Chain A
């Protein structure tokens, strides 16, 4: 996965970049399955590897496919990125180790959701129970975000030249398929 990510950084043909990001998304989905996040993995495979790739390919088709050779030397951004990474590594040293049952994340409200969620909502999948039942309004707000983004995309792409071969893509609302 790291190789795919660094490949994205080095590849200048944007078509290659899009393919690599699709591969990266599938690898990420696999990792998420291993981490027991099956719902997230399914969404990532459908949205990250599917819809995002389609959107990116459409954009490349409309906006052209190669990146010019960089003018600046990459040393300053590299320095900034390495300093940021170093600070983040320093920050993680105080965090609990991987899969530590005593970590605060497993002690706080999660056990009560796991115990009461299926009883109160009647849904055995706790992720679904929390998403649709406990946090139903949050999910409604999220749908509003996707709707607003779809309207934004249509508003931006509506004033196209009529001689263009392809009509405006109403692609922004593609995200709705995820839920």
Chain B
């Protein structure tokens, strides 16, 4: 095993770590969704990079070429991208609804509002 041979994996893991960090540590819900997107693109890279062959070309068959990169990861990731943007749209719609209901998209403020609410109902009963 050499560092150069595994370089693509290391880049992928770095991006994955940054995305995970944003999802865990940042409080804004929109930013969490951007982090989720970052994590997703890292997974794309994880799938696509092993399919590449140096000296190969894109998997469009022609007479002039012999070696092609592996087409199957490309197919899987095409599906993943489209599903990813559907998830993003749904998540953003939820964020907008949360903003209307709570007046905030910060996780901490929403949790504080929820705790307040619970305390008030308990005192009343």
Q: Are the CB atoms of B68 and A1 closer together than 8 Å?
A: no
Interface centre among A21, A135, A139, A150, by most chain B C-beta atoms within 10 angstroms, is A21
Q: Which of A39-81 contact B (CB under 8 A)?
A: 39-40, 43-44, 47-48, 51-52, 55-56, 58-60, 62-64, 67-68, 70-72, 74, 77-78, 80-81
Q: Are the CB atoms of A92 and B85 closer together than 8 Å?
A: no
Q: Are the CB atoms of A40 and B27 closer together than 8 Å?
A: no
Q: Are the CB atoms of A47 and B81 closer together than 8 Å?
A: yes
What count of chain A residues pass the 8 Å CB interface test? 95
Q: Are the CB atoms of A146 and B71 closer together than 8 Å?
A: no
A1 cross-chain contacts in B, Cβ below 8 A: 11, 15
Tell me how many residue pairs across A and B have CB atoms closer than 8 Å.
277
Instruction: List residues of chain B with CB under 8 Å of any chain A CB.
Output: 1-2, 4-11, 13-22, 24-28, 30-31, 33-35, 37-38, 41, 44-45, 48-54, 56-62, 68-75, 77-79, 81-90, 92-97, 99-100, 105-106, 108-109
A162 cross-chain contacts in B, Cβ below 8 A: none
Encode contact with B along A85-104: 1 for CB under 8 Å, 0 otherwise. Answer: 10011001101111111010
Shortest Cβ distance from A33 into B: residue: B58
> A23: CB under 8 A from chain B?
no
Shortest Cβ distance from B71 into A: residue: A126
Q: Which of A92-128 contact B (CB under 8 A)?
A: 92-93, 95-101, 103, 105-106, 109-110, 113-114, 117-118, 124-127
A-B contact pairs, 20 of them (CB 8 A): A28-B41, A28-B44, A37-B48, A40-B48, A55-B89, A56-B30, A56-B92, A59-B96, A68-B28, A70-B25, A72-B25, A74-B21, A78-B25, A92-B13, A98-B49, A124-B60, A124-B61, A127-B74, A153-B93, A156-B96
